[in-house]
Structure 1
C-alpha cells in the first residue's frame, strides 16, 4: 500500500529542500595536502569545498528503482554564492539560491516560492556538524581512491555506533574535497539511496549577473512568500521529555501548512479543544551532524489524518501519530526506530 498523500507530500518536499540545502552550510576552513582523517574535519572540508568552488554538473539521485537528475550551476567568488538547480525529469522546476534567499520556480504553472533559508536553519542540509559533538555517534573508515565523473575521489564511510542512524559512504574529490557521491546504506550494507555527479566541470567561469537576472525574472508568476516565525517547544506548549541520543535541536519554527492541507482542514474539522489554527504548523529540526529529522506538530483533522504506520519514499521514512488534539509526524532519512523515539518522546505540557 502506498503512503497517504500528506506523507508523500512532506517526504517529497523534504527531498526537494535537501537538494537546495546540500551546498548551503558555511564552514570556512582552508586545507592543503591530504584530507584529515577526522570526522569533524572531513565534514567541514566537504562544506568548505561547496562554498569556495564554482562548478557545473549533472546530479543524479537513485533509489528503489527510480532515478531523477538535475543540472547544478554553482557560482562562488568568496563573498556571494549563487546557484541554479534545474530538474531534468518530471515537472519543470528551477531552484535559485543567492546566499540565503531561495526562489523555486515552476515555469509550467507560472508559480514561484520565495524563502529565506536562515529562518529555518537552512533546512534540511545533511551536513550540519555544529561543534562536532554529535559526530561521536559515527566511526570514520577510509577506503581506496576511486573515480567519480572523471575525478579522483577519496572514499570515506561514516559507520554509526547505534541503530538510530544509517551508514553513509561518501566520495570526496581528492584535491578540493567537493562531495561527488553519497550513498545511504542500511544495516546490511545495501544501498538505500545514491546521489552522484554523473559529470562535473570544476573551476568554470560563470556570470553571477546572468544567474541573478534569471532568478528575479518573475513577471507573470504567482509568487508565494511563506512567513516563518522562530519559536520553542516550550512556547508552543510541548516538551521532548527524553532527548534522542546524538540529535540536537537545530531550529524550531511555526510555518504555513501546505495549501492542500489548509484547504482540507475546513473550519471546525479539527478535534475539539485544538487551537483552531489550521493554517500553520510547528516544525522542529534535529540533527546529528550528518542527517536530520523534522518533527511536525499540527492540529488533528479527522478527514485528513488517518494513517499511523510508517511510510517510506526512497531513503526517507515518516511516522505519524495522534496525540490528543494534535497530529505528530516525524520525517527523516533514519531508521524508523529513531522516528519512534521522537514521536513517543513528544509530550503536551500541562497548563
Structure 2
C-alpha cells in the first residue's frame, strides 16, 4: 500500500506539471500536435483503415541535432519499408528487388498529419475542442475540424494530453461517415536516440533496381500548361517534371494543398494503348478524375470530394503562345 501511495503521489505531481502546459484553445492544440510529431522521439504500431481494408505498420521516429529520421515498416501483405532521412525518402520493395528514392511529398503521413503552421486552417475549417477520452492507455484531447465549404473533408484528431502526440486521426465525409482512420495500438513516447532503429532492415544487393523518382522543379508558366480554376485555400506547393516510362516521356506533376488536404495533378502524353477510362473512379480513400486534353492524359487525385477534383481538372488547359 505504501508503494501504491507513493506512485499515486508521483503521478499526481507529474500530471499537474503536464497540465500546466496544456493549451486551452483548439488552434494552440493543433500547433502542439504538429510540433510533437516532428520534435519527439517515439516508436509504436498503428493501424490504417479505409473501408474494409485494414493495414498495420510499425514506426520509429527519432530526432537529434542533425534532423529527423524515421522508419516505417508494413506488417501486413508483401514486405515493404519506408526510411526517411530529413527530406530524402527511400522505399524498399524486397519482393521486387526495387528501391525507390524520392523526396518528402506534400501528403502528410501519420502521425505528422498537420502543417507546421496550422493557424491558416481556421479560414476554411471550423475548429473546436471535443471530449477527452482514453486511447492506448493515454488521456487524449479530441480536436474537430469541420469544413466551411464542399471542397474538402472534415478531420478529427485525438492527441495525448501529456505530450501532444497524435494518437488517432480520422477523415470524415460529407455525411459524417469515416473515410479513413489512423490509430496507434501501442506507442512509446520519449524513446532514447538509437540510430539503429531507423536504419533499413533490408540490404540492397547488386541485383536490386534503383529508381530515382525525384522530380526536377519547374515553374508552372514554363510548362506549357495553365490552371484556370482555383479552390479557396489551396495553393501550389509542388511543381516538378518527373521522368516517366520510356514509351510515355516526361510527366508534369503539380500539387495544391490547404495544409491538410492535397490535390495532385499529373499531366503526361497519352499512351499509344490507353486502357484508362476518362471520368471519376476511386482507390481506397482517394478519388480520381481523368480527362484528355491535347493528346495528354490529365489525372487529378486526392482525399477530397469529387467536385474539387472536377473543378481543378476542368481548368487545365494548354498555355496560349
User: Normalised by the shorter chain, which TM-score bucket?
Assistant: 0.7 to 0.9
Q: Deviations over 1:254-274 (max 9, x none)?
A: 1122xxxx26xx4xxxxxxxx
**2:123 aligned with 1:123, yes or no?**
no
**2:308 aligned with 1:338, yes or no?**
yes
Displacement of 1:339 after TM fit?
0.4
Displacement of 1:188 after TM fit?
1.4
DSSP-derived class of the 2:185 partner:
strand
Match of 2:131 among 144, 148, 153: 144
Structure 1 pair 152–87 and aligned structure 2 pair: CA distance change class (3 A) = same
DSSP-derived class of the 1:145 partner:
strand
**2:108 aligned with 1:112, yes or no?**
no
Unaligned 5+ runs, structure 2 = 1-18
Match of 1:35 among 16, 23, 28: 23
CA distance in 1, matches of 2:159, 2:198: 29
Displacement of 1:86 after TM fit?
0.6
* TM-score, normalising length: structure 1: 0.79
Instruction: Let me know the Cα RMSD of the aligned residues.
Output: 2.1
CA distance in 2, matches of 1:149, 1:316: 28
Match of 2:204 among 218, 221, 225: 218
Kept in 2, the 8 Å contact 1:134–1:247? The answer is: no
The count of aligned residue pairs is 298
Displacement of 1:313 after TM fit?
1.8
Aligned to 1:291: 261
Report the more deviating stretch, 212-221 or 225-234: 212-221
Aligned to 1:242: 229
DSSP-derived class of the 2:191 partner:
coil
Q: How does 1:272-311 map to 2 (within 5 A)?
A: 278-304=248-274, 306-311=276-281
Q: Deviations over 1:116-153 (max 9, x none)?
A: 33xxxx33225336584354100002111111222111
Displacement of 1:154 after TM fit?
0.4
CA distance in 2, matches of 1:222, 1:38: 46
Displacement of 1:68 after TM fit?
0.5
Displacement of 1:223 after TM fit?
1.9
Q: Deviations over 1:257-308 (max 9, x none)?
A: 2xxxx26xx4xxxxxxxxxxx2321111111111111111111225225412
Structure 1 pair 32–94 and aligned structure 2 pair: CA distance change class (3 A) = farther
Displacement of 1:217 after TM fit?
4.1
* TM-score, normalising length: structure 2: 0.86
CA distance in 1, matches of 2:274, 2:214: 24
Query: Which structure: larger Rg?
Result: 2
Report the more deviating stretch, 334-343 or 143-152: 143-152
Aligned to 1:168: 155
Aligned to 1:103: 90
Aligned to 1:181: 168
Aligned to 2:53: 66
